[in-house]
């Protein structure tokens, strides 16, 4: 079976996380993705490398692609990039505003030559406004959108960012892929491509389905009161802790939720996730504790009553969980239909029975690092082959074949190498006197 995007050609001018993850998603759906890299490659190749020009984070973001390494500072490099872009169905870029214009890779120029082109541009903060020219990475988007403050976690007095995953980068990647596929669908009816735009800042806002929803009649006066006092405090000079405490006087902080958290058991950990009072009562009864706040239908963890009840019960609930093993608790809670899960270290995933039963890891042979295991595409489709088995590309590994597809003959390709326009990992290693 072919993938749903089989036959779709994607030219990928992206680095780091959001763009590469987006194009990897397209490759998993069967698109032919050519990743255009600078001569030294995507900068992720050089972060904690496991071999020269290869790193684990790069390997995790670029499965299923082909790589060509070009010096776009040279006219011939820019011409190859333009030709790759014009013949594509989809072009994906994540440069700062203005860079594509200098390279001749802007939507206006390319769409004149290919009216069917779907052009996806991701920036840090969008094209307008005071942040527009700034570079952006996940921590900056978390900061500017307020996500970084939402969990109230600090280290040495300042907020800690969500570091387990690049939350705004990955959210943006998924919005990009979603927009691209919708533009391709629209093209099937209209015959014309279009520009698709998003940015880390917008995606970070869109992901906050709870904290950025305001019932204006109730929330606006509170919000404006806090902002007024915050400005006064900042004009005098204040610490983050003081500002957070000031916010707490206006916006009730979520109390500890005894029914949606992780507990220690006799030998390990268990997570429970109760989102209605029937489930909460089942946990309460299984633990043999008294909590009247979960009677009835309504539950508000920001209320003083619930917060105080949780404070009084936390020690006894924690102690009760420690009396039995995780497996014993899983069995007991499953029996009363309480959502719960074992807590796995990432290292345990590789031999996890459930992971293996669902074939969720992919085994590949990489030309440089050898055997490689990484997560498989999580989507399955009944009538389409989903998930690329092409390993992440070594730098410039497909330059020759990509250029021949563009019509360059062997002599022209050799000259491009000699002129320093076209590069490969092997040529860089030889230049630098390094071994593979």
For residue 291, which phi and psi values (nearest 5 degrees)?
-140, 100
Going by C-alpha positions, the residue among 263, 258, 257, 255 that lies closest to residue 341 is 263
User: What is the spatial distance between Cα 248 and Cα 375, in angstroms, rounded to a whole number?
Assistant: 41
- The residues, ordered by sequence, that sit 6+ positions from 259 with a Cβ below 8 Å of its Cβ are 272, 274, 279, 280, 283, 294
Q: Which regions of the chain are under pLDDT 50?
A: none
Q: Is 418 helix (H, G, I), strand (E, B) or coil?
A: helix
Tokens of 176: 């990009």
User: What is the spatial distance between Cα 339 and Cα 28, in angstroms, rounded to a whole number?
Assistant: 31
Identify the pLDDT of residue 310.
83
SS3 content of the chain, % helix, strand, coil (to 5): 45, 15, 40
pTM: 0.93
Q: What is the pLDDT of residues 395-434, one digit of tens each?
A: 999 999 999 999 999 999 999 999 999 999 999 999 988 8
User: What is the spatial distance between Cα 402 and Cα 398, in angstroms, rounded to a whole number?
Assistant: 6
Going by C-alpha positions, the residue among 372, 319, 287 that lies closest to residue 60 is 372
Q: Is the dihedral of CA 407, 411, 416, 417 positive or negative?
A: positive
Q: How many CB atoms lie within 10 A of CB 47?
A: 12
Q: Is the dihedral of CA 346, 348, 352, 354 positive or negative?
A: negative
Instruction: Please report which residue ranges of 191-301 form alpha helices under DSSP H.
Output: 200-206, 216-236, 240-250, 277-287
Identify the pLDDT of residue 134.
86
């Amino acid at each position: 079976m072919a993938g749903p995007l089989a036959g779709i050609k994607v030219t990928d001018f992206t680095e780091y996380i959001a763009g590469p993850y987006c194009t990897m998603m397209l490759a998993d759906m069967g698109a032919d993705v050519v990743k255009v890299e600078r001569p030294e490659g995507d900068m992720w190749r050089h972060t904690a490398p496991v071999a020269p020009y290869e790193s684990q984070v790069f390997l995790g973001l670029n499965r299923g692609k082909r790589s060509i390494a070009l010096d776009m500072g040279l006219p011939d490099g820019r011409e190859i990039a333009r030709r790759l872009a014009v013949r594509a169905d989809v072009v994906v870029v994540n440069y700062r505003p203005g860079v594509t214009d200098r390279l001749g890779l802007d939507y206006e120029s390319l769409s004149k030559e290919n009216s069917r082109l779907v052009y996806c541009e991701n920036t840090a903060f969008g094209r307008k406004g005071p942040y527009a020219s700034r570079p952006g990475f996940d921590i900056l988007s978390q900061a500017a959108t307020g996500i970084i403050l939402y969990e109230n976690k600090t280290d040495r007095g300042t907020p800690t960012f969500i570091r387990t995953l690049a939350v705004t980068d990955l959210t943006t990647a998924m919005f990009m892929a979603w927009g691209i596929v919708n533009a391709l669908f629209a093209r099937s009816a209209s015959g014309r491509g279009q520009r698709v735009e998003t940015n880390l800042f917008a995606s970070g806002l869109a992901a906050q389905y709870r904290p950025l929803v305001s019932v204006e009649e109730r929330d606006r006066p509170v919000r404006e009161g806090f902002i007024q006092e915050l400005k006064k405090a900042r004009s005098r000079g204040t610490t983050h802790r003081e500002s957070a405490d000031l916010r707490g006087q206006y916006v009730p902080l979520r109390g500890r939720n005894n029914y949606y958290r992780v507990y220690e058991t006799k030998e390990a950990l268990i997570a429970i996730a109760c989102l209605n009072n029937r489930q909460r009562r089942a946990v309460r009864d299984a633990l043999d504790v008294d909590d009247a706040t979960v009677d009835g239908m309504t539950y508000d963890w920001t209320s003083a009553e619930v917060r105080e009840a949780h404070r009084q019960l936390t020690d006894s609930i924690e102690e009760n969980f420690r009396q039995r093993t995780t497996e014993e608790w899983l069995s007991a809670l499953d029996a009363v239909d309480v959502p719960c899960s074992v807590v796995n270290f990432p290292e345990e995933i590789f031999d996890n029975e459930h992971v293996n039963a669902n074939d969720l890891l992919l085994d590949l042979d990489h030309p440089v690092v050898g055997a490689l295991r990484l997560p498989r595409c999580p989507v399955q489709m009944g009538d389409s082959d989903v998930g690329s088995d092409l390993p992440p590309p070594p730098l410039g590994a497909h330059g020759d074949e990509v250029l021949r597809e563009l019509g360059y003959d062997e002599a022209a390709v050799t000259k491009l190498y000699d002129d320093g326009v076209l590069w490969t990992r092997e040529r860089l290693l030889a230049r630098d006197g390094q071994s593979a």
